Amino acid sequence: MTTDLRILLDFDGDRRDIGDYERAGGYRQLTKALAGAPEDVIAAVDGSGIRGRGGAGFPTGRKASFLPKDRKPAYLCVNADESEPGTFKDREIMLRNPHALIEGVITMSFGIGATSAFIYIRGEYRAEFEVLMTALQQARERGFVGADVLGSGYDATVVLHRGAGAYICGEETALLSSLEGERGQPRSKPPFPAVAGLYAAPTLVNNVETLASVPYILEMGGAAYAEIGTERSKGTRVFSLSGNVKRPGNYELPLTATLRELIEGHGGGMPDGRTMKAIIPGGSSAPILMPDQIDTHIDFESIAAAGSMAGSGAIIVIDDRTCMVQLALRVSEFYKHESCGKCTPCREGTRWGVDIIRRIEMGEARQGELDLLLNVCDRILGNCLCPLGDAMAMPVASYVTHFRDEFQRHIDEGGCPFTEHSPISGLYHEPAAVS
């Protein structure tokens, strides 16, 4: 069965204790890598074809090769900010397999010649921060982290840095601003972090899942890893499944699986005999897919071809009770709240979007405001400094496109026809109106 392969989380329970991790073969790839040349690490990662698991899906080996070899200092930054709504996989990796992340970080640092690594973990992840702190301490005691790792002459400094609550700090340049002690606002690219990143030094930013995969890639060999998946989407990915589904949770699947295998096979399908209304396939910034697209494959290209994006690997299932206007309101409120305010289309557009959608939901919108909403989305799309503006405009436009009648009914009937049944209702309407 194609969906029966796990790499990163191929065990029950956890391997928080370094002994458990080492018994399972852990830290051997680091030991081997340190005995060879740094380029070998990057070559293996490049050969595996793995693409970043943070959202953008950029080939990891290629990104690493952009760093100039001779400029020091150079840094590796681990993106553990995980805040795209629907996404909770990095957290599970950190909780269950923290040493795979640490081994991946040190190995990759060695590969790019980084002088230190910074793990930027979202401030809310307190238990996960404590797990990493304990794991790092164990790794230090065993000589895998610190000065002169395993007598190789390579010094690996790792700093665990906690964020303080801001979604935008997951965007890589905002992460760097935040790590430097500023407000977490994105910077325009170029220059790319590979050239001028943290403290203006060459910097590689990678997601937790990407880096935790590195030891397994080295163990299997890049070519063997590249045999898993599709032509352009390699390996396995940990998918976060949530919303109206019987068995939500994280599921690691090879990139040949379909949404149906994930949602119905692993997730058990819809609870209480309900029917599906829509699927969000890549975190809340992804345009929705319709139930008849459930046989779409979950690799980057297939989801893009279906009209959405694989994004952070978060799949949210929406059932037939849900009011799409309320969903649009909740999603747009989020991006408005997280807009850093640096550029106009996002700062103004997210506000406008929320105001219009709120009027529609509350029955205060006039005829024509639906087109105004689409117009606002259109003016945001492609006009912002970072992708956050689009992250609101894309999904909202997709809800209107697929469920225009439902939006129109709110305007025509002067209110929300679904207050009684929609699970989101209680956030916007007095409890009396909610069943």
Ligand X SMILES: Cc1cc2nc3c(=O)[nH]c(=O)nc-3n(C[C@H](O)[C@H](O)[C@H](O)COP(=O)(O)O)c2cc1C
Which does residue 172 bind out of other proteins, ligand SF4, ligand X, none, counting CB within 5 to 8 angstroms by kind? ligand X
The yes or no reply on residue 388 touching ligand SF4 (CB under 6 A) is yes
Residue 210 contacts which entry, ligand SF4, other proteins, ligand X, none (Cβ below 5-8 A, type-dependent): ligand X
Q: What is the dihedral of CA 337, 342, 347, 349, to 10 degrees?
A: -130
From residue 428, alpha-carbon distances to 29, 141, 295, 361 in Å are 52, 52, 34, 9
Q: Segment 242-261, which members bind ligand X (CB under 6 A)?
A: none
Look at the block and give the residue holding tokens 């698991």: 53
Give whichever of 342 and 429 is closer to ligand SF4, judged by the CB atom. Answer: 342
**Per rule CB under 6 A, is residue 370 in the interface with ligand SF4?**
no
Q: Is 44 or 255 the residue whose CB approaches other proteins more closely?
A: 255
- Minimum Å gap between C-beta 232 and other proteins is 26
Instruction: Name which position in 13, 151, 273, 368 contacts other proteins (CB under 8 A).
Output: 13
**Among residues 62, 247, 366, 404, the one that binds other proteins under rule CB under 8 A:** 247
Q: Which does 205 bind (CB under 5 to 8 A by kind): other proteins, ligand X, ligand SF4, none?
A: ligand X
Place of tokens 């002690």: 181
Give the total of residues touching other proteins (CB under 8 A). 81
Which backbone phi and psi does 44 adopt, to 5 degrees?
Answer: -65, -45
Tell me which of 92, 171, 299, 361 binds ligand X, using CB under 6 A. Answer: 171
Shortest distance in whole angstroms from residue 52 CB to ligand X? 2
- Considering only residues 181 through 240, tell me which ones interact with other proteins, judged by CB under 8 A: 181-184, 199, 240
Distance CA 185, CA 169 (A): 7
Q: How far, CA to CA in Å, does 199 sit from each of 163, 176, 182, 193, 342? A: 17, 8, 12, 10, 21
By beta carbon distance, the residue nearest ligand SF4 is: 346
CB of 247 to other proteins, least distance (A): 5
- Cβ 172 to ligand SF4, closest distance in Å? 12
21 binds other proteins (CB under 8 A): no
242 is a site residue for other proteins (CB under 8 A): yes
**346 contact, one of other proteins, ligand SF4, ligand X, none, CB 5-8 Å limit per kind:** ligand SF4
Rg, Å, the chain Cα set: 22
Element (H, E) at 390: helix 388-402
Among 46, 338, 361, 406, binds other proteins (CB under 8 A): 338
What would the DSSP string read from start to end of 149-171?
A: GGGSS--BEEEEEE--S-GGGGS
Instruction: Show contacts with ligand SF4 in window 326-355 (CB under 6 A).
Output: 339-343, 346-347
CA nearest 285: which of 85, 82, 79, 51?
85
395 touching ligand SF4, by CB under 6 A = no
Q: Rounded to an integer, what distance in angstroms lies between the CA atom of residue 235 and that of residue 59?
A: 12
**What does 343 interact with, of other proteins, ligand X, ligand SF4, none (CB < 5 to 8 A by kind)?**
ligand SF4
User: Rounded to whole angstroms, how far apart are CA atoms 311 and 71?
Assistant: 32
User: Which run of H or E residues covers position 39?
Assistant: helix 38-48
Does residue 296 interact with other proteins by CB under 8 A?
no
C-alpha torsion angle, residues 256, 258, 263, 266 (rounded to 10)? -40
> Interface with ligand X includes 205 (CB under 6 A)?
yes
249: Cβ contacts below 8 Å, ≥ 6 apart: 240, 241, 267
Binding site for ligand SF4 (CB under 6 A): 168, 186, 339-343, 346-347, 384-386, 388-389
